[in-house]
Structure 1
């Protein structure tokens, strides 16, 4: 019976496998669809002119066909849906891992930490922009350091399901650090720092996407050490409060369980100073001071640094400026207006790369 239908199964399989190629010829995806993946389209192979060219032709042809087959975006979306993680509970924004630890799924954060998404061209573009920024700051006598806070999924690998564990795969964080090192830019790899901190206490919240006071302090100490300011280090024993109960978190809120989950965490026991908002948004850019003398440090970052870092920096700095980096679209004029002594580039890992074509406003470069 099966032998009778075998030729039809073979024909169906051939049609299924050939459909993307046929659609690619008559109705291909637009180049913009591939550019959204953070890469450039592979060019068509050049006409071979030598023996070496003929040997390289299969690789060039394969790269071209991989970027030009039909139904590409539909197949990528289908793969994403079929591999969407579910472990016990969760939704399309939150993965609940082992022991109830929650991970943020949007912005490809978990897949990024696992090395399952590599937007190599956008990483390269980000490195190039960071170099331009560093050069412009250096011409003004302003110091510069890069220190991206890792995703929780990067730090708590053992709490993830098997498919989301990295297993040694290269990530965008790796690519960024490699590019910055090649350009001689001072950058701090906070991943081992945060893993070490997590062994000593809660470095990230269990029901929230952010790091805790302990995690922020560990990152701060590593940055000032790399910045040549070891005397700015702060002792965790003197800066952190005893463990206390904290309810909810941003990920718990997304799941609708914010009122039913708690965890024990430490807080910072440091003076915070006074804050002056630079916009009408209470969560927007601000300047914070404590009435002490010292250099001005500006952070280009996101919610990871908006909370704890003023208290940490103002133990030694005279003024702390926090600017939302807006995926590299921040207003460059604020640097010339406020004249910081140093700029710390600190967007979280999931916001590691600039938006497509995004540059700081009014930045000549």
Structure 2
């Protein structure tokens, strides 16, 4: 056995409560975004009133199955990499408190559970196809994202999975409309930038150390010696900036089309606010995507939170007057509950 293997096998972890281990295994705080995707899309179909409570429960349960499939399969496939890098020392799988086989079984039970719940709820062929695409997309991403010769492809497949989840939420309520489709694509582009470009730059050194092959590495992203910054090749800069530009356009598109049927003075005000916020965030993100300038910054995990906050803020600005109070409260509870419970569990 190698010296490294001996170190890995004898590594000591600080004690954690069962609840804390559960929180880490299910990525509880991140369920806020997973649940938001289909619920927000559902709201575009019936903006002035909630669907039946039973339908909302089905969407929540299916979203949970999707969530556990996405993150559970990622933990299983990245197990060796996570052990080497020590990025998930608070997760039961890495700590050895759960076997890889058990984690895989739990994941597949959730995958099957999502399909069975949808099937028993009174489904349609289109809904089942969307759900299969959603689950299949994230499974393919988890299994092959860091092991194939063209990682942008698996990033795109993951995005398609989230687009399908979004459209599932809309289709479960009624017929998806133009607003539903635009929102679904917006979610897809957002995920494509976050997991494909942004997090690849954040985790660059660790991914290189662990032998992972991500989109930034494929483009030629490399660490700079004795610096927190990294070399961002021009092609990666163009790619990342294009993703952000497309995200801004998609956020503005419903306002430019006035899918909300807002009166003109109000529409102009909302659009102006949206443009200002988007330009500020565009400039903020660009600092992480251009190399060799004095204002280049190394992205941190906190910047991911700011990106998520931007996305929620933009949607809140655009949709607040369009959705009923019941929808606003429901979406607020859906986002806040996982975050609050995650903070309370120690």
Query: Counting strand residues as a fraction of each chain, which structure ranks higher?
Result: 1
* TM norm structure 1: 0.24
Higher relative contact order (CA 8 A, sep 6+): 2
Query: Counting helix residues as a fraction of each chain, which structure ranks higher?
Result: 2
Work out which of the two has the higher radius of gyration on C-alpha atoms and give 1 or 2.
1
